[in-house]
Amino acid sequence: MGLGILMPSIDKIFGIGMFKTGLTSLGEALEILGYRQSREEWYHGRIPDDPWNTCPDQWSQYIPILLDRARQFDGLKDYPWMFVYREMDREFPNARFIYTMRDPEAVAASNRNLWRSRGAREESIPSRERIIQRYLDHQRSVLEYFAGRTNLLMVNWEEKSGWNELCEFLGLPLPAVPFPHANKGVYSPASRQSAVQAAQVVHHPFTT
């Protein structure tokens, strides 16, 4: 039996960690396991681009768009999914959620470096304090919502989380390839494809 076959009780996987916490690594790992991934930045012109989630009540009016997108894929991560986990939990009661963690100082530094790499002026870059506060507020909300439940996995790729935790959570065998620490440049697109082939992925989608 190939990888990419979720336990019958699971219908979606949502990566709901904050930006710069290893969501790219999570997506590449799920791809290696054989799951169809929703790519980032599909949302432009379709839903608000609000990375600070300044208007959390706005999401209710975009649920049809989000559900249409979610039903096309097995794994969904990054924006806007980290802000709509409550709504997705209600719509997909058998979904699993993966919260990626990272040292808040590293999160802030990585975010600010990304802004600089895109040519932002220093005075326009969000402060270290603001980025850390967003991370901590989001973490508190996630932990409060999922308290006492078993459909949330918390991982920190920089503290040795990897295939063992992920595959146990999803009920899958361990693949015979290294875990893709994307931020360290381990996998280029070509090498990721090689990893998928090496794992002999046989994908069976959730839905038809």
| Average pLDDT of the segment spanning 112-136 | 96
Give residue limits of the domains in the chain. Answer: 13-198
Among the CATH numbers 3.40.50.2030, 3.40.50.2000, 3.40.50.12280, 3.40.50.300, which is that of 13-198?
3.40.50.300
Give the mean pLDDT of 166-171.
95
Pull the structure tokens for residue 134: 């967003």
Q: Which helix (H) or strand (E) holds 193?
A: helix 189-198
**pLDDT above 60 for 108:** yes
Instruction: Report DSSP letters for 20-37, one per residue.
Output: TSSHHHHHHHHHHTT--B
User: What average pLDDT does range 144-159 have in this prediction?
Assistant: 97
Predicted pLDDT of residue 40: 63
Residue with more model confidence, 177 or 199: 177
- In the predicted model, what is the mean pLDDT of residues 92-98? 96
In this model, does residue 41 exceed pLDDT 70? yes
Cα dist. 153→13, 95, 133, 141, 147 in Å?
Answer: 11, 12, 22, 15, 12
Give the confidence band of 60 by pLDDT, cuts at 50, 70, 90: very high
C-alpha 150/C-alpha 146 separation (Å) is 8
Candidates 204, 147, 207, 150; CA nearest to 172 is 204
Average pLDDT over residues 115-128: 95
Please name the amino acid found at residue 173: P
Residue 196 has pLDDT above 60, yes or no: no
Q: In this structure, are strands 13-15 and 152-155 parallel, antiparallel, or unpaired? A: unpaired
